Amino acid sequence: MNGDARQTSVVRDRRPAHVLDVQMVRDDFPILKMRIHGKPLVYLDNAASTQKPYAVIDAYNVFYSGCYSNIHRGVYHLSETATKAYEDARERARAFINARGIEETIFVRGTTEGINLVAQTFGRRKIGKGDEVLVTWMEHHSNIVPWQMICEEKGAVLRAVPIDDRGDLVMDELEKMLGPRTRIVAVTHVSNALGTVNPVKEIVRLAHRRGIPVLIDGAQAVAHMPVDVRDLDCDFYVFSGHKLFGPTGIGILYGKKELLESMPPYQGGGDMIRSVTFEKTTYNAPPYRFEAGTPNIAGAISLGAALDYVSALGFDAIAEHESSIQAHAAEVLPSVPGLRLVGEARERVGVFSFVMEGIHPHDIGTILDREGIAVRTGHHCAQPAIDRFGVPATARASFALYNTREEVDALAKGLLKVREVLL
């Protein structure tokens, strides 16, 4: 693609390192230079969506301005170039999660569609009356509702593994709930509401010991830690590009080849077929069987750029920096009078849900916005998890690789301003 040279220049000289040059990283994200209400932007809503570096923005623009065409269908130069860029992005995604082959790497619109795809194909065939689907109390709605729908249709039962007062999964209960009627375990790798990192490799081991497949929702994990689906031995793994510094409307569903080959299509249309007559249609092999119609080509190519960007920074350096920010936040935030953290799991990423005595979370978010600070308020599409802690809503600050200790301090100062204004 003509944009390769420009894209490479953005990440030039980047080699995975143990120390992250945060200022250099921040320079890669143009939106971080913005001022909101006259104040420097402090973006702390990364669990909802991450900002985009020039590498991703350029890849998107270059595709549309320099080599746009539909893929897989044309014999002319532009189509062949676009097809190569699209399939190169698939290969980058495969390598990023260490899948065995591209046939295990399906482009979807995001985590929600990936889970719905599995529920409506694998789930529809495997789940019957009286069967059970096991999720947890800390799931995002996207890993509850699709299973609830298929359970309702089939007369199956949705069960949820409890979490304790810290926000950790109760593993003893999980093991007890794995039974002869359990048809699939669907669990989040990292909680979007609490920041809890679940022991997914152990969960897979326990489930597989009973012959039960496991789907992992990796939406909140992939920006913070390396993911190796072969090491995890999970059956399905799904994540969204926009939570990994990529564009919206694109994500990856990983599935083991033998499972995908046994699954019917999710949608019908072009590109997912081998042949069509009025009497019969034969279907393409995975991954194309599950990619009906013209896909989000620009999104896929830009996601490839995002994966390159993160890989060039290196997860060792990212983890060290984010651990430092997380530790600072864990020390500073509880010092704000009246603030109570919701969930303090033993292993977690930099996601902090909190409430303040006598102040509604929405008012916290509104006052912080006037200080240029972006946080999320509400139940974070994880209503059961928030209900578990006896509160209707929280404010949530979630950190990413470009956040700084100074921004943690700005948040704490902003929260003092909230008290000053509202109490």
List active site positions.
Answer: 381
DSSP per residue, 6-57? HHHHHTTT----SS--HHHHHHT-GGGG-EETTEE-EE-BTTT-----HHHH
Block residue for tokens 């704000």: 336
- Asked whether 373 and 417 are in contact (CB, 8 A), the reply is no
Across 91-242, the runs of DSSP E, i.e. the strands, are 105-108, 132-136, 157-161, 182-188, 214-217, 236-240
Dihedrals phi, psi of 245, to nearest 5 degrees: 70, 10
Burial class (CB in 10 A: 0-12, 13-18, 19+), 157: middle
Q: Give the integer Cα–Cα distance in Å for 414 and 154.
A: 50
Residue 57's contacts (CB-CB under 8 Å, 6 or more residues apart) are 30
What letter would DSSP give residue 253? E
Dihedrals phi, psi of 227, to nearest 5 degrees: -120, 125
Is residue 188 classed as helix, strand or coil in its secondary structure? strand
127 membership: H or E segment, kind and range? none
For the chain, state the CA radius of gyration.
22
Crossing angle, helix 361-370 and helix 405-422, to 10 degrees?
120
Helices (H), 250-375: 257-262, 297-313, 315-332, 361-370
Crossing angle, helix 315-332 and helix 405-422, to 10 degrees?
30
The long-range contacts involving 160-165, CB below 8 angstroms and separated by at least 24 positions, are 160/134, 160/135, 160/136, 160/384, 161/134, 161/135, 161/136, 161/137, 161/187, 162/136, 162/137, 162/388, 163/136, 163/137, 163/138, 163/194, 163/196, 163/385, 163/388
Q: Which of 183, 78, 54 is nearest to 129 (CA)?
A: 183
- Asked whether 183 and 189 are in contact (CB, 8 A), the reply is no
